[in-house]
Structure 1
Amino acid sequence: MSGTGRRVGRPRAQARPESGLPTREELLEAAAELFTTRGYAATTTRAVADLAGLRQASMYHYFAGKEDLLAALLEGTVGPSLKLAALLTGRDDASAEARLWALCRADVALLCDGPHNLGVLYLLPEVVRAERFAGFRAVRDELKAAYAALLAATSAGARLPPAAFAVRADLVFGLIEGVILIRREAPIPDAEAFASATADAALRVAGCPEEVMARLHREGEALLAACSA
């Protein structure tokens, strides 16, 4: 601590260009780049610290290890969507179909955001099985349940028998997360248009008739604008 009671910052390993990001975010950016290009297993904490311009020992002030970096990155891919889902499910001034469109569109945009395809980290064996990532899996399950709740409130979803509904819910959620594999194969040139088109496709999978799609698209966009205001 300094004489003023303020924590003294950890020393950096080397000078680097100013990014404007807090040190913790710089470490996450470095981990995102290395995990998605070099691979999680092949990346060391030293490599992350070096890329972020820190001494390895300094990195441990922010993260206990590689698993903590991965957990933080994973949670960042679902947390905003789960927060939006809570807002949307609590609204009664829009149809369930429009609210489902808005969630789909925002979720795809999040998965397309940034230079690194973080969603591909979902497929890591460690993420699927390790106890350390049980929290992420639970949050992802909450998000999937929010999709199902909105689908159940739609006209088409309400008419489905339980077994058919479960399949339809899996298909909608799988379509949204499918962006992970699409993005792995090739860059998505217009993420905004892609997100909107995927949300349209999700409503078609949900059973919405084609003649109402344009209206639901507009209502969904208005909902997103209202939620972000």
Structure 2
Amino acid sequence: MGKGSGVGRPRASGAAANRPDARQAVLDAAGELFTGAGYAATTTRAIAERAGLRQASLYYHFPAKEDILAALLAETVRPSLALAARLVAGEAPAAVRLWALAYADIGLLGGARHNLGALYLLPEVGSPNLARFRTERAELKAAYGRLVAASGVAPDAVAIRTDLVFGLVESIAVIRRDDPALDVEAHVREGADGVVRLVGLGEPSAELRAEAHALLATLTD
């Protein structure tokens, strides 16, 4: 890019930083760049250019690149965490609730526009500024643990089976990274089935899946 081209010929500046879609434009651009070029290699200037904003406008919404990462990571966990709270408090059979949570959670990670789950392995995730994300992710894992325990698993096996379940759910990010043409819906369905099997609840039936889908419909309307 030539010296006279400025910051990617931005389309917006000044008051445009307040436009309703400016923040989302930054997140979309950063999601694409972080998962494509890499977090360390991506500058705020590049994000602003991709978003169609001046760099100063980007800083209106996000004072630092790490703040953008925090917002993106929040998108990967908060919807599932909110759903998990309702499922844990629910009265449907534990297997149904567990299948429903895994189905929704894998779908969130696998169906997002950008493969944000692949950012979990970044060393920056250990930053003090990302403590809230780590806490929320731990809370989500704990919700899986409560559903695993409610499924009748022996107390001494709950922790390791929760680890295995959570690992299976988040594996969609690695699989999606390696296979961009992944059939997400098929993986989501098989992944939820695999969670139920891992816990030791046998082969998921068509009735269990139907009940889980119906439960999700009542909780996500």
User: TM-score, with normalisation over the residues of structure 2?
Assistant: 0.89
Q: Which residue of 2 aligns with 1:97?
A: 95
Which residue of 1 is the match for residue 166 of structure 2?
173
CA distance in 2, matches of 1:102, 1:141: 19
Partner SS, residue 64 of structure 1: coil
In structure 2, C-alpha distance between the alignment counterparts of 1:168 and 1:30, rounded to whole Å? 37
Q: Is the 8 A contact 1:45 1:66 kept in 2?
A: yes
Amino acid at match of 1:182: I
Query: Given the superposition, is the C-alpha separation of residues 21 and 116 from structure 1 closer, same or farther in structure 2, using an over 3 Å criterion?
Result: farther
2:207: which partner in 1? 215
Q: In structure 2, which of residues 147, 152, 155 is the aligned counterpart of residue 150 of structure 1?
A: 147
Mapping for residues 116-135 of structure 1, pairs under 5 Å: 116-127=114-125, 129-135=126-132
Matched ranges for 1:1-229 at <5 A: 13-14=10-11, 22-92=21-91, 94-127=92-125, 129-155=126-152, 157=153, 160-162=154-156, 164-210=157-203, 213-229=205-221
Structure 1 CA distance for aligned equivalents of residues 189 and 20 of structure 2: 30
Superposition deviation, residue 114 in structure 1 = 2.8
Call closer, same or farther: CA 1:120–1:189 in 2, change over 3 Å: closer
Q: Is the 8 A contact 1:99 1:220 kept in 2?
A: yes
d(CA) in 2 for partners of 1:209, 1:66: 45
Q: Distance in 1 between matches of 2:114 and 2:10?
A: 25
Q: Structure 1: which 5+ residue stretches go unaligned?
A: 1-11
CA distance in 1, matches of 2:75, 2:215: 22
CA RMSD of aligned residues (A): 1.6
SS of residue in 1 equivalent to 2:205: helix
Runs of 4+ in 1 over 3 A off after TM superposition: none
CA distance in 1, matches of 2:32, 2:182: 19
SS in 2 for 1:178: helix
Work out whether residues 148 and 169 of structure 1, in 8 Å CA contact, stay in contact via their aligned partners in 2: yes
- Encode CA deviations 1:199-218: one digit per residue, 9 max, x unaligned: 011100011122x5322211
Which residue identity does 1:55 align to in structure 2?
A: R
User: Would you tell me which structure has more helix in proportion to its own residues?
Assistant: 2
Q: Which runs of 5+ in 2 are unaligned?
A: 1-8, 13-18
The alignment-based identity, stated in percent, is 54
Tell me how far apart the structure 2 counterparts of residues 227 and 130 of structure 1 sit (CA, whole Å).
Answer: 34
- The separation in 1 between residues aligned to 2:112 and 2:219, in whole angstroms, is 21
Deviations 1:114-155 (A, max 9, x none): 33110010000110x211111100000000000000110013
